[in-house]
Structure 1
Amino acid sequence: MDELPIGRRVAYWRGRRKMSQQVFADRLGKSKSWVDKIERGVRRLDKFSVLYEIADILQVDVQLLLGKDPERRTDTLNCIDQVEVEEIRAALERYDSISAYFDAAPYPPPLNDIGKAVTHAWLTYQYGRYGMLTRALPKLLRDAQAADAAYGGGDQGQRAAQLLGQVYQIASSVLRKLGECDLAWLAADRSIAVAQRAGDQLLAGIATTRVCNALVAMGRARPALELNVAIANRLAPGGGNDTRPERVSVYGMLLLQGAMAASRIGDTATVEDLLDGAQAAAAELGSDQNHYWTSFGPTNVELHRAAAAVELGDGGRAVEVHRQKIQDAPFDAMLPERRAHHLLDLSRGFAQIGDVANAGEMLLRGDRLAPSEIRCRPIAHEVMSDVLRRTRGAPPSLIAELAEHMGVGV
């Protein structure tokens, strides 16, 4: 595309953004005829002010319009693009199941291939590579939806539904982190219904945590708390339920997410009760495990204890938990997303107690582990802004560099 005239590049990116000439012209404050002449090369585009305005509307680096390699900041490699958001939205709005009721797809995607892709997507998420994941999600969603629609009942149908439920959960998790809360809730809600069709009670249980996380992000912490606790009680090991590690892990995560919801409404007593229950469940496992992609275990309980303290405004308690309760070896064995997430929580905790230097250091450590967790999350941008605002004089060079990558003004 580099050999194309600049007008053709404008047309290409306008089409990529699914924007008509009229809509583009309206946003630019020009006529449709002006846009048409620019794209056909009849009129020259030689004002840099207009060029930069076009780049802003099309959400591309101006260097792309000039046919040069873009001077892309590192964060743009890791974060989500609005084109990807719209593609994910379009995939979530598909209703293949009802279409297949009338006309089933003759060649559904092989379940083994989808299973491998789902595993890869989970690992991509747990390694904190959100940009890579969001680029792969639209196709993965379409493939999993097509398989679920085509295979119908029986073992294959349940397997297809189970895989689609996981894809919805992956989508919900990464979208919530990137601040797309409405889509996160939609994906999580879809995962609940699909998990029920899959006949997988534990998948439905962990899907509940995704729904509740989305609700919390949307300011609905109390219903999230109530739902987490209600499903945890139904799935609790013992009684009529088995005590497999998978069930213990899902049950423990429901308690942990309930504790996080309770911390959002300042219910300290409930937070402690749920954390203690999760700690008892983790003790049954003995170590951190990744059943149903939960990373649940003793260390993860302490990470949530610190996170809940931050949500309650007790940064000192969060720092104390980190220093006294979290051991280096099991923490270092956890996947990058979990560790970077904790370091972000710890940064918030240090900021709460006025330790700006350590708050910045935690952001740097998190960035080295999983850049997307720090550079892409809105909450991390808020912390960085706070660090910069409260730093006396010029910030340390590494902090200034990270802030630039994040797009946070120094």
Structure 2
Amino acid sequence: MEWSDQPIGRRVAYWRQRRGMSQQVFADAIGKSKSWVDKVERGVRRLDKFSVLNEIADALAIDTQQLMGRDVQRRTDAVSCIDQVEVDSIRASLERYERLGKYLGAAPIPATPTPELKKAVAHAWYAYEKANYPVLARTLIDLLRAAPVAEEQAGTSEARAEAAALLTQVYQIASTLLRKLGEPQLSWLAADRAIGAAQRCDDPLLIGIATTRVANALRSLGRFEAALDLNVQVAHGMMSEIGSTAKSDPEAMSVYGALLLQGAMAAALTGDAATTRDLLRAASSAAQLVGDGKNYYWTSFGPTNVELHRAAAFVELGEGRQAIQVHERIPRSALDALVPERRAHHYLDLARACTQVGRLEQAGEALVTADQVAPNEIRCRPLAHDILADLLRRDTGPGSPSVRHLAETMGIAA
């Protein structure tokens, strides 16, 4: 059943749950009883007064037309995308300092048991890799509150280190998601917190992978040279600290390779083709030691991912034709073995490469493929909206039906 065909009670329940409100809290917000809310959500009571609909929409922080299944900004196919309320909730979570609760007069927050916290963090990683960003956003709001408390209330140094390792992961996921959503300042804040937590758990590999989040945030802020220097220096410093055993450790090589890849992307953005090429060559050598099919430290690092970054680097250098050539030599089976987020992101890069060389039809096909692989990587990202809007602007022909449908779904006018 299409979203617009859903009973309005179900839409009320959806948005209430998405805002993290119980029926009682929601009922208090609109001056109704919990029983009234329950009957509305089950379809027993009708909502036929526009004034009541307005009150409900205000309490849920959405537009009344959106509540009625008629989103005034985007088609309701995109209803699952993260909205500003959820971004603001993540911002509020980052701005809170639960560690200082006793000084702020706040009520103590019970610590989440470590096994439960581990499961929640793993769930967040899986949601990220599947590009299920709406679920990830709501998970992060809770984790950003629970993880700092878990570290603060840990009883032993070993328990604190374990909690810090979980906390740095939470901040890393938050940073990456916020960067995708076009929030570079918040992304940088979360990444900076990730570095601090990684240092407290004294794991050089966690410090290394947290560094890539900081550098990516710097790239989003236009600080390309700073991002390049940070990735390269930490990569070499990390390998020096680990020592001679690093090259026989696939986890260490994965993090090292991830740092080199992000350094290559930063170099490409500065227009430094020679440094980009050198870093990609070094990353490729590391990838041969790791192989495909691994995902150490959530890097997806391996020979195929290096090729994806090679294509992306060519796009940033304005060499769309070479990026397409890289894509064409990647075995389809190897590409399909990567997590959905990586694959969809690559097809976004391919679409950009195709527009650079005037292959507009192929660019549209790449966007449609990306949407099939991971819809939220396309529908929820400002970058994807910009790429599709640019494609429609440049394509003076009728365009393919699938591209027109995608544009309509995303609320982009032809």
Q: TM-score range by the shorter chain?
A: 0.7 to 0.9
Retained in 2: the 8 A contact 1:337–1:370?
Answer: yes
Indicate the residue corresponding to 1:187 in structure 2.
Answer: 190
Q: Distance in 2 between matches of 1:370 and 1:100?
A: 43
Indicate the residue corresponding to 2:401 in structure 1.
Answer: 397
Deviation of residue 392 (structure 1)? 2.3
Deviation per CA, 1:1-36: give whole Å up to 9, x if none.
968xxxxx9xxx9x99xxxxxxxxxxxxxxxxxxxx
Given candidates 81, 84, 87, the residue that maps to 2:86 is: 84
Instruction: Within 5 Å, give how 1:5-84 maps onto structure 2.
Output: 58-64=61-67, 68-69=68-69, 73-77=76-80, 79-84=81-86
Indicate the residue corresponding to 1:19 in structure 2.
Answer: none
Deviation of residue 70 (structure 1)? 5.2
Indicate the residue corresponding to 2:269 in structure 1.
Answer: 264
Q: Distance in 2 between matches of 1:132 and 1:408?
A: 24
Unaligned runs of 5+ in 2: 1-6, 10-14, 23-48
Retained in 2: the 8 A contact 1:100–1:150?
Answer: no
Instruction: Within 5 Å, give how 1:106-255 maps onto structure 2.
Output: 107-151=110-154, 153-236=156-239, 239-240=243-244, 242-243=246-247, 244-255=249-260
Retained in 1: the 8 A contact 2:69–2:76?
Answer: no
Q: Distance in 1 between matches of 2:104 and 2:157?
A: 19
Deviation per CA, 1:189-239: give whole Å up to 9, x if none.
000001000111111110000000001001111100000000001122774
Retained in 1: the 8 A contact 2:264–2:279?
Answer: yes
Deviation of residue 365 (structure 1)? 0.2
Q: Distance in 2 between matches of 1:106 and 1:98?
A: 11
Secondary structure at 2:79 match in 1: helix
Secondary structure at 1:236 match in 2: helix
Retained in 2: the 8 A contact 1:350–1:358?
Answer: yes
Q: Distance in 2 between matches of 1:45 and 1:102?
A: 42
Deviation of residue 121 (structure 1)? 0.5
Deviation of residue 74 (structure 1)? 2.0
Deviation of residue 242 (structure 1)? 3.2
Given candidates 92, 95, 98, the residue that maps to 1:93 is: 95
Relative to the length of structure 1, the TM-score reads 0.83
Deviation per CA, 1:152-206: give whole Å up to 9, x if none.
5411111111101000000001110011111111100000001000111111110
Deviation per CA, 1:283-329: give whole Å up to 9, x if none.
111224101100000000000000000001100010011112x1111
Given candidates 277, 289, 305, the residue that maps to 1:300 is: 305
Q: Are 1:372 and 2:365 an aligned pair?
A: no
Unaligned runs of 5+ in 1: 4-8, 17-43
Deviation per CA, 1:100-156: give whole Å up to 9, x if none.
689995741100000001001001000111111112210111111211121154111
Given candidates 286, 292, 295, the residue that maps to 1:287 is: 292
* % identical aligned pairs: 50
Deviation of residue 99 (structure 1)? 3.1
* Matched letter for residue 394 of structure 2: R
Secondary structure at 1:392 match in 2: coil
Indicate the residue corresponding to 1:383 in structure 2.
Answer: 387
Deviation of residue 87 (structure 1)? 0.9
> Is 342-351 or 397-406 further displaced after alignment?
397-406
Secondary structure at 1:208 match in 2: helix
* Matched letter for residue 363 of structure 2: A
* Matched letter for residue 135 of structure 1: R
Q: Distance in 1 between matches of 2:77 and 2:164?
A: 37
Aligned length: 364
Deviation of residue 386 (structure 1)? 1.6
Indicate the residue corresponding to 2:283 in structure 1.
Answer: 278
Retained in 2: the 8 A contact 1:288–1:298?
Answer: no
RMSD across aligned C-alpha pairs, in angstroms?
2.8
| Moved segments of 4+, more than 6 Å | 101-104
> Is 99-108 or 195-204 further displaced after alignment?
99-108
Indicate the residue corresponding to 1:345 in structure 2.
Answer: 349
Relative to the length of structure 2, the TM-score reads 0.82
Retained in 1: the 8 A contact 2:228–2:264?
Answer: yes
